Each structure stands twice: as C-alpha cells, then as structure tokens.
C-alpha cells in the first residue's frame, strides 16, 4: 500500500516548501523507495500558464504538455519521480472538474458543496498518484496554513488519513523560527500558533521542520515539542543555506529526518547512499575556474522568472568544475545603454524565452554582440526567434525582418504564427506544448553534444521559424541543425563559424539535473570556459 506524506507550511510564505519536499523525495529515493511527487495549489487559476512571471515565477512545462508550478522543477531536479498532469492541481482545476460533473448530472440532484464534493475531488486527485509499485506519495500543499484558500485542501488531507488509515499518512509542517535581534533570541511563538491553527482543523503534525537562520538549541526544540504536541526528535532544524540549495537534503539527514520518516511510516529501513550528491557538492565547493554568463531577459531582475535556466547553468558549471557568476541583464537596459557597456566581459550570453514585444530589440542587440564578438551564445525559444531576426537583418540583409508577434506588418516575417495556432483565441493551454521529437543534422554542434540523431524536448510556443526563408538563411551559412521529424518545423539553428552559437525553439532547461547536466548547457558552458582560458594572460615564471 502506498504511504502518503503531506507537507504544509506555516507562519510565512516562501519558506522553501518545494525544496524541502523535493529533498525528502530525494532522500527516500536514495533509500531505494519509489516516490511520486505532487503539488496542490490553492489559487483559482486553472494552471499557472496564463500567470505573469512577475506574479508567479517561471511556468514549468512537463513532457505531457502541462504547464505547472515551478516547484515541480525542484521535484524533477531532485528526484526521478515521473510527473504528469496529475502532479499539480489548483483550486481552479478542482472546481472545474466538480462543476463539469455537476453539469453532467453526476451528483444526482444533490446540493453540491465544499464538503464533501470539493474535498472528495481533492482526495481523488491525491489518490490518482498512488498505486501499484509506488511506495510513497509526497503531496505539498501550496500557500500558508491560515489562508482562506487552503482550507478545503487541509480538510481533504485530514479526511484522507481517515480513509486510508493514520498509519499510512504522515503530516510534516514547515515553519519559521525567526531570530529577533532586539531580544537576541529565536522565537518559537509563531510556530506554536501555526501548529495551533493546524490542530484546530484536526491535523496534528507528526514532524515539524523549522526554518531558521541560526542553530536551533535543544531548549527551543524542547519548547516547540511541548507546545506543539510532538516528540522532541520530531522537531527538525533546517538552517538557511547560503551556499547552495543542493545542501538542503544533506542537512536534513544530519538532523535525522529520513530515518524518522521511515520509522514513522513503517517503511523498510534500508541504507542511504548519498555518494553522488556528496560528489556534486564537492565539485561545487572546489571549482577549478570561474566564469560569468549574462542572461539577457525581460524579467532579468526577478530571480524566479528564469529559475530552471539558472539551475541548468549551475549544473553545467558543476560538470565542468566551473564556478559561474550569473549576470541578470534586463533586455530593455541593453536598448538604452548598448551591449558593449553591459555585456563586454561576459564569457557567454544566454537569451531565454518570453512573450510580447517589450525588450526584444535589446535581445536582438545582445545576440548581434555575441555573434560578432565570437562570444558563446545559447538562445532558448524567444531567444532563438530573436537570433533568427538578428541574422535576417544583419547577415541575410532583410531590413526590418521581425516576428509577426511584434510587428504584424514586417516586410520579412521570418518568425510567424504556427498554422495550427491561427484560429485559436483561448490563451490557457493552447500553445504547442510538451515533449516533441526532433531530428538532428549530424554535422552540427547539437549532434556532437547530444550524441544522438533523435531527441525529445519540451516546447511552449505559438510562433515558429518561417520556412519560406529557409534556403536564404542556409545560403548565408546558418545551419538548420534540428527539425521536427517531418521536417516541417525548424527546431535548432547554429552559426557554424562561431565557437558556440546554438539557438533552440524548445526548452532544454527543463531537463537538466544537478547530477546530469543537459548536453546543450554543457556545450555552452564548456565553450565559455575555453574562452576564459584562452583569453587569460599567460603567467610568466
């Protein structure tokens, strides 16, 4: 029978529930257990696909095309849990399902209510992830205990233990133990209050994970244990990690979290082998070189907007023993100040995906700078489209070339709407989404790094390379390095006589892991490392 772990959060938001849940998943997998991860989000949007990155950070795309919360990115980077559209449910989706059932008459004339109909739908969504061969499902509840929106979810997870047996469920509550400078003390009261709120709903947490900036002394742990009605060993410290998020699981092991979970859920107490993770941290701590990469985007100042991209860059750094300083450059600033001032000195330039015209001219400028100065460049989605625009204007000589997304009347629409998109008006879930197969040209850098002709990568776009111009581009030495299997869509372009200029219509960042860097990020970072080494002034002895 599948066991269930529910992770809730209290006191404040942004406590890192996603990272903590992912770390728990990773530790249980390293004990040989089969884990599935899931996130329930209390907001009313049906999915985050239509939400601004300012509001919600990046939209994380799965193989099956679902547009999900960025925490699912942590799940995939930390674990091998297979994620599908059942891995992320929102209030909007839950209500939509219930309302559709009501319209079909499935409630047989009953009054449809939050309890039991909405809570049943939530429980049903949790149960979907469990099943044959799955040892543990970890379900993270978004939001903070005490929020109005979270109530039905908390009620549902309370009922869940009644349905499947308390011995098969574990409630882990993540809280904050703040340090008050004026009192020179850590304060446990917010934790007591948030656990109090959980207990009011009928949930007694089994384990408390306490986020804190300082060491949590035994006396504070005792106090929390007493007031929150949990055993002393079940009060676990999770100290802030300034160095790397990949330290989190190891610090939880030090405080005994994994063995406690295994014991409480009566799971087999197998040994925990963390060699790969320790090796990763060792590499992170002992870099051989240092390089800098500029990420030029519309939301560059927002650290969650390109989360997976920053992670994928770090993973490639781990592989190449390089410490990477990432410069977040706003593309509009490039328009104002010019690329030379903002980008000279970087060892590589990456232009990520995006929507809408704002800042695109700055991206085009940045790409021109990378191409002309032989700076390694990686373009992703909109970053590829801007690379095509730049090449059209400055190499092929198509003055005023653009994407019809930004200029409907451009004389040279080198990027235009996908045919299947032309009559679509709904915004949610209607792009070309999810895993799509491509074929690589064997005479390309992409092929060299993938080592395979056939690849599958995740997509999220409406616009595409306009095939009318394919021959003209090729005549000017732009390599079409990858296309869809039927050759109808251009997936990768490369500039051949350049150390590394690769631009892709898909999102490689969603498939990079700390223990296994993505081939394209790996190639890009290696080129950047080479560039630094070549430009280093030789030391005279």
Give me the residue label for tokens 């460049």: 377
Residues in region 355-394 near ligand GLN by CB under 6 A = 355, 381-382, 385
Distance of closest approach, residue 304 Cβ to ligand GLN, in angstroms: 16
Given the rule CB under 6 A, which of 338-346, 442-450, 458-466, 492-500 is the region that contacts ligand GLN? 458-466
Q: Is 222 left (phi over 0), alpha (psi -120 to 50) or beta?
A: alpha
Position among 405, 439, 457, 494 found at the interface with ligand GLN (CB under 6 A): 405
The widest CA-to-CA distance across the chain, in whole angstroms, is: 89
Beta carbon of residue 412, minimum distance to ligand GLN (angstroms, whole number): 17
CB nearer to ligand GLN: pick between 277 and 463: 463
Q: Are 79 and 34 in contact (CB under 8 A)?
A: no
Rounded Cα distance between 221 and 224, Å, is: 5
Token duo for residue 419? 């045919």
Strand partners, 501: 377
What's the CA gap between 18 and 77, in Å, rounded?
11
d(CA 347, CA 527): 9
Q: With CB under 6 A, what is the number of residues at the site for ligand GLN?
A: 11
Structure tokens at 30: 């390293």
228 is catalytic: no
- Extract the tokens encoding 477: 């030495």
Q: Give min distance, CB of 456 to ligand GLN, in A.
A: 17
Respond yes or no: is residue 386 known to be catalytic: no
Task: Provide the minimum distance between the beta carbon of 388 and ligand GLN in the complex, in angstroms, as a whole number.
Answer: 11
The binding track of 299-338 with respect to ligand GLN, each residue x by CB under 6 A or -, is: ----------------------------------------
In whole angstroms, the minimum distance from the beta carbon of 382 to ligand GLN comes to 3
Closer CB to ligand GLN, 50 or 515, in the complex = 50
- Among 16, 353, 376, 519, which residue interacts with ligand GLN (rule: CB under 6 A)? 353
Applying CB under 6 A, which part among 202-210, 302-310, 347-355, 486-494 lies near ligand GLN?
A: 347-355
In the set 4, 365, 509, 518, the catalytic residue is 509
Residue nearest to ligand GLN (CB): 353
Given the residues 381, 386, 390, 461, select the one marked as catalytic. Answer: 381
Q: Could you tell me the smallest distance in angstroms from the CB atom of residue 330 to ligand GLN?
A: 16
Identify the CA nearest to 428 among candidates 65, 97, 37: 65
Nearest to ligand GLN of 432, 531 (CB atom):
432
Q: Is 107 in the site for ligand GLN (CB under 6 A)?
A: no
Q: 326 or 503, CB closer to ligand GLN?
A: 503
Q: How far is CA 538 from the centre of its chain?
A: 40
From the list 4, 56, 498, 507, the catalytic residue is 507
Specify the residue, 131 or 356, whose C-beta has the smaller distance to ligand GLN: 356
Q: Does 354 bind ligand GLN (CB under 6 A)?
A: yes
Nearest to ligand GLN of 107, 406 (CB atom) = 406
Q: C-beta of 281: minimal distance to ligand GLN in Å?
A: 32
Binding mask 137-176 for ligand GLN (x = CB under 6 A): ----------------------------------------
- Give per-residue burial for 438-466: e unless 16+ CB within 10 Å, then b: bbbbeebbbbebbeeeebebbbbbbbbbb
Backbone angles phi, psi at 212, to 5 degrees: -155, 150
Nearest approach, Cβ of residue 361 and ligand GLN (Å): 15
Closest by CA to 4, choosing from 162, 175, 146, is: 162
Concerning whether 507 is annotated as a catalytic residue, the answer is yes
Q: How many CB atoms lie within 10 A of CB 12?
A: 13
Residue 70 C-beta: closest distance to ligand GLN, Å: 14
Check: CB of residue 289 under 8 Å from CB of residue 323: yes
For ligand GLN, the closer of residues 235 and 382 by Cβ is 382
Contact criterion met (CB below 8 Å) for 502 and 379: yes
Which residues lie across from 232 on neighbouring strands?
Answer: none
Tally the C-alpha atoms within 13 A of residue 499's C-alpha that lie toward its C-beta: 20
Per-position x/- string for 459-488, each x denoting binding to ligand GLN as judged by CB under 6 A, each - no binding:
-xxxx-------------------------
Say what the alpha-carbon torsion angle 245, 246, 252, 257 is, to the nearest 10 degrees.
Answer: 120
Q: Which of 217, 178, 181 is nearest to 194 (CA)?
A: 178
Task: In the chain, count H helices and then E strands.
Answer: 19, 23
Helix or strand holding residue 4 (H, E): strand 3-9
Q: By C-beta, is 449 or 463 nearer to ligand GLN?
A: 463
- In which region does residue 143 sit, left (phi positive, over 0), alpha (psi from -120 to 50) or beta (all else)? left
Question: Which tokens go with 333?
Answer: 């600033």
Residue 413 binds ligand GLN, judged by CB under 6 A: no
φ, ψ of residue 252 in degrees (nearest 5): -70, -35
State the minimum distance, in angstroms, from the CB of residue 417 to ligand GLN.
Answer: 8
Structure tokens at 18: 């996603």
Of 158 and 460, the one with the shorter C-beta distance to ligand GLN is 460
Closer residue to ligand GLN (CB): 82 or 462: 462
Separation CA 45–CA 38 (nearest Å): 17
Q: Are 210 and 176 in contact (CB under 8 A)?
A: yes
The dihedral through the CA atoms of 102, 106, 110, 112 has a sign that is negative
Q: Which residues bind ligand GLN (CB under 6 A)?
A: 353-355, 381-382, 385, 405, 460-463
Catalytic residues: 381, 507, 509
């Amino acid at each position: 029978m599948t066991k269930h772990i529910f992770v809730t959060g209290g006191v404040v938001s942004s406590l890192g529930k996603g990272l903590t849940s992912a770390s728990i998943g990773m530790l249980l997998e390293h004990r040989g257990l089969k884990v599935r991860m899931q996130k329930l989000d209390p907001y009313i949007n049906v999915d985050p696909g239509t939400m601004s990155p300012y509001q919600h950070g990046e939209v994380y795309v799965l193989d099956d095309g679902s547009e999900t919360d960025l925490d699912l990115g942590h799940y995939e980077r930390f674990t091998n849990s297979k994620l599908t559209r059942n891995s992320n449910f929102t209030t909007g989706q839950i209500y939509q399902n219930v309302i559709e059932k009501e319209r079909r008459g499935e409630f047989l004339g009953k009054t449809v209510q939050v309890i039991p109909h909405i809570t049943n739908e939530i429980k049903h969504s949790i149960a979907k992830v469990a099943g044959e061969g799955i040892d543990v499902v970890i379900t993270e509840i978004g939001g903070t205990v005490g929020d109005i929106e979270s109530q039905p979810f908390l009620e549902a997870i309370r009922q869940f233990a009644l349905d499947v047996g308390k011995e098969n469920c574990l409630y882990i509550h993540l809280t904050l133990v703040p340090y008050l400078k004026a009192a020179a003390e850590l304060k446990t009261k917010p934790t007591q209050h948030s656990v109090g709120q959980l207990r009011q709903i009928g949930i007694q947490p089994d384990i408390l994970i306490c986020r804190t900036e300082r060491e949590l002394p035994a006396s504070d742990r005792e106090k929390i244990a007493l007031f929150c009605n949990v055993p002393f060993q079940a009060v676990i410290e999770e100290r802030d990690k300034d160095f790397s998020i990949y330290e989190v699981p190891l610090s939880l092991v030090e405080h005994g979290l994994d063995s406690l979970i295994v014991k409480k859920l009566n799971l087999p107490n197998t040994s925990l082998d963390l060699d790969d993770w320790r090796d990763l941290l060792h590499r992170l701590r002992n870099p051989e070189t240092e390089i800098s990469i500029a990420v030029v985007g519309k939301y560059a100042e927002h650290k969650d907007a390109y989360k997976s991209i920053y992670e994928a860059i770090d993973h490639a750094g781990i592989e190449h023993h390089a410490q990477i300083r990432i410069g977040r450059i706003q593309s509009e600033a490039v328009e104002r100040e010019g690329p030379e001032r903002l980008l000279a000195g970087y060892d590589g330039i990456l232009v990520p995906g995006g929507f809408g015209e704002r800042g695109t001219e700055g991206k085009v400028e940045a790409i021109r700078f990378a191409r002309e100065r032989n700076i390694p460049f990686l373009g992703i989605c909109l970053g590829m489209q801007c690379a095509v625009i730049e090449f059209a204007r400055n190499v092929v000589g198509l003055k005023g070339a653009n994407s019809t997304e930004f200029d409907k009347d451009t004389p040279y629409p080198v990027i235009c709407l996908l045919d299947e998109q032309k009559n679509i008006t709904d915004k949610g879930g209607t792009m070309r989404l999810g895993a799509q197969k491509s074929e690589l040209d064997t005479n390309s850098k992409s092929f060299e790094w993938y080592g395979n002709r056939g690849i599958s990568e995740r997509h999220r776009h409406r616009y595409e390379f306009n095939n009318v111009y394919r021959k003209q581009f090729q005549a000017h030495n732009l390599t079409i390095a990858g296309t869809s299997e039927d050759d109808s869509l251009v997936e990768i372009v490369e500039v051949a006589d350049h150390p590394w200029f690769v631009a892709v219509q898909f999102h490689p960042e969603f498939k990079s892991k700390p223990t296994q860097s993505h081939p394209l990020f790996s190639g890009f970072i290696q080129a950047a490392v080479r560039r630094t080494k070549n430009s280093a002034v030789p030391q005279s002895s």
